[in-house]
Structure formats: C-alpha cells, structure tokens
Structure 1
Amino acid sequence: MSIVLPRSEGVTMAPARTDVDAELREVYDAHYGRLAGWTNRLVGDPDLAHDLATEAFVKLVREWGRVDEPKAWLYAVTANLVRDHWRKRGREHSAYLRHEGGAPAEGRDDPDVATQVSVRTAVQSLPDRLRVAVLLYYFADLSVGSVATQLGKSEGAVKRDLFEARKSLAAMLEGAR
C-alpha cells in the first residue's frame, strides 16, 4: 500500500530532472558559442578557450539551483578562469626568466612599444579589480548592474573601476601609436 500526500497550497515541488536538463540545454545553446569566442579573444587559443568555456558550464550544472542570471554568471566564472590562466602563465614566464637568466637572444633588438602593446596585453596588465570589470562590461557585453551583481559591488563602484581602467588603458595604449 502506498501513501499519497496531498499537495499543499503554496508549496512548490522541485522541478523534474528533464525540466532542468532542458533549461541547461537552452542556456548552453544560447551562450556556449559566444562564451567560447569571447574566451578565445582573451586567451588567443581556441582549444584553451573551449576548455575554459566548458569548465564554466560544468560549474553551472553544479550550481544551477543557485544561479539567477546564467549568462552573467557564466561570463564571471569564465573571467575568473581566464584570470587564473594568466596568473599561471605569469608564474611560468617568471620561472623561465629565472632559469634562462632573462638574457635576450643575441642579435635581436627589443621591439618597440607599438609591437609590444596590444589591447589584450594592456587589459591583462590591469589590476584584478579593474580587469574583471572591463572583461565583463566591454568583452562580455554585460550591463553595469549585472557586473555589479556578479562582483558583489555597487553600480557606482563598478563605474569607478571602469573609469580608472579606461584611464589606465588610454595611458598604456597612448605610447603604442
């Protein structure tokens, strides 16, 4: 004998797994391609970009019930993964310079600023608090409100960070002319 409990008014039942799968598929279909393309522009490696975008979606599956804005959440998580990648590359570069003594190859002149500085390297050189705001606002095309929500800051703080970032980027890129 089985017992059937009546449904109470105002009590929401958990969605069926197939509903969640369909919602996740819809988010994936809507955002994966652009997210992977955005990430590729940041890291300059399509395979790594797809790996990072996929990792962000794996994290989304784990956190699905707690995510209000999947697009903003995905871009914020991916920005953090890209930041971790850049940090790792920076540590690898430092270790390489220590190992090789930092000596430039013979017969090579130092490149001028115009060939050294690109928008990517300029953005990478920003402090974390500015870089993530720039990535989410300009490259992920999120609103100031969405960026503020994802970073846990006020909209005014995000606007200030974007202003400071633009000022820093302008100074860095001015010498690249």
Structure 2
Amino acid sequence: MAAVALVRGVSGGVAVPSGDRVDVEASVRELYDVHYARLAGWTAKLVGDTDLAHDLATEAFLKLFREFGRVDEPRPWLYTVTANLVRDHWRKRGREAAAYQRHEAGRDDFTTDADHATTLTVRDAVEALPDRLRVAVLLHYFADLPVATVARQLEKSEGTIKRDLFDARQRMATMLGETR
C-alpha cells in the first residue's frame, strides 16, 4: 500500500490525505473486508459481548480512516488500537464493579461472590495484569502478532516484549494456580 501524503489545515484542522479521498476510502474498505471479521471475533473473545466487540472493531476502523496516512502497518495498528479500546472498556467495567460492590456492601442481603480461585478465567487473569504486560499479551497471544511486530507497535525493544510476555505468563500461572 503506498503512503499517502498529508495536507494540514484542511477539513477543520484535521489532516486529510492528499489526492483522491475515494482512494483512501477504497484502501480502508479493502482492509475492512480482509480484517474486520477476524478483528471483531478476537475482540468478542476478549470482552465476551459480540455487539460491543463489533462496536470496538468499527471504532478502530474509523480511527484507521482518520489516521490512514500515518499508518505503516494497518493490521498490527488495528489490533493495537482495539486492544487499547478493550483496555478502556475493562477499566470502566472495573470502576463500575467497584462502585456496585461499595453500594451492595451496605445492604443486609449482600452475599459474597464464589471463591475467586474457582471462578478465575484466563480472561480474568489477563485483565488483572498491569497494562504494560496486558497489551503485549493481547497482541502476541490473542492477535497472533509476532514479537517483532508487537515491539514496533508498542515502541519497545524485542527483548523488553519477550520479558513482558515471560512476566505475564508467570503472573497468570500464579493467579490460575498452575505453578510448576
């Protein structure tokens, strides 16, 4: 895919690809046709909600359309953007759950959840990882991107990504009770 030059000051200060806008639309459409279904499916596995997954994948493509001229590798870029959107969703969900727990703690009929050790899933373990580890795990293991691509997307060295993946595996093994 050829790089697209950017023109500043057009369309209310937003950078707009030079040349024919239809070319950008056609390029993004082609990428959409190739990658959307898999991206939405990957996202659905992460968030557990097909409708939300489609919304997040669509939002990633809208961002791609706006940033098209600045994106060198669209597939990893889309997965990185979507991973960030999923991370934002998880954060919001975590804040909401904490608020509900605070609210429910004051009620007499409040019951505690089941034992955490018996209900923890891999998704929960990934969500519990610190952001620096979580994104690397999502992109490498869930989006099936090579370490080198993950390193470029996250602007880290390959060695750092390998260490992050190792640390993440160790933490998740401990969380899931699979210590060796």
Q: TM-score range by the shorter chain?
A: 0.7 to 0.9
Return the alpha-carbon distance in structure 2 between the equivalents of residues 144 and 91 of structure 1.
Answer: 31
Contact 2:64 2:78 in 1 (8 A): yes
SS of 2:68's partner is helix
Q: CA deviation at 1:162?
A: 0.3
Q: Does 1:168 align with 2:163?
A: no
TM-score by length of 1: 0.85
Q: Does 1:57 align with 2:29?
A: no
Alignment of 1:105-120 (within 5 A): 110-111=114-115, 113-114=117-118, 116-120=119-123
Provide structure 2 residue ranges, at least 5 long, that are not aligned to the other structure.
6-17
Q: CA deviation at 1:97?
A: 1.1
Return the alpha-carbon distance in structure 2 between the equivalents of residues 113 and 103 of structure 1.
Answer: 25
**Equivalent position to 1:73, from 74, 77, 88:** 77
Contact 1:113 1:175 in 2 (8 A): no
Return the alpha-carbon distance in structure 2 between the equivalents of residues 73 and 47 of structure 1.
Answer: 22
Task: Determine the structure 2 residue equivalent to 1:8.
Answer: none
Return the alpha-carbon distance in structure 2 between the equivalents of residues 71 and 60 of structure 1.
Answer: 10
Contact 1:144 1:158 in 2 (8 A): yes
Task: Determine the structure 2 residue equivalent to 1:34.
Answer: 38
SS of 2:99's partner is helix
Structure 1 pair 109–139 and aligned structure 2 pair: CA distance change class (3 A): closer
AA at the equivalent of 1:168: R
Contact 1:124 1:131 in 2 (8 A): yes
Return the alpha-carbon distance in structure 2 between the equivalents of residues 105 and 68 of structure 1.
Answer: 55
Q: Does 1:126 align with 2:142?
A: no
Return the alpha-carbon distance in structure 1 between the equivalents of residues 164 and 113 of structure 2.
Answer: 36
AA at the equivalent of 2:35: H
AA at the equivalent of 2:77: W
Provide structure 1 residue ranges, at least 5 long, that are not aligned to the other structure.
1-11
Q: CA deviation at 1:105?
A: 5.2
AA at the equivalent of 1:38: W
Task: Determine the structure 2 residue equivalent to 1:86.
Answer: 90
Return the alpha-carbon distance in structure 1 between the equivalents of residues 108 and 167 of structure 2.
Answer: 34
Task: Determine the structure 1 residue equivalent to 2:145.
Answer: 142
Structure 1 pair 85–108 and aligned structure 2 pair: CA distance change class (3 A): closer
Percent identical = 65
TM-score by length of 2: 0.84
For the aligned residue pairs, the C-alpha RMSD in angstroms reads 2.3
Larger gyration radius, structure 1 or structure 2 = 1
Structure 1 pair 110–165 and aligned structure 2 pair: CA distance change class (3 A): same
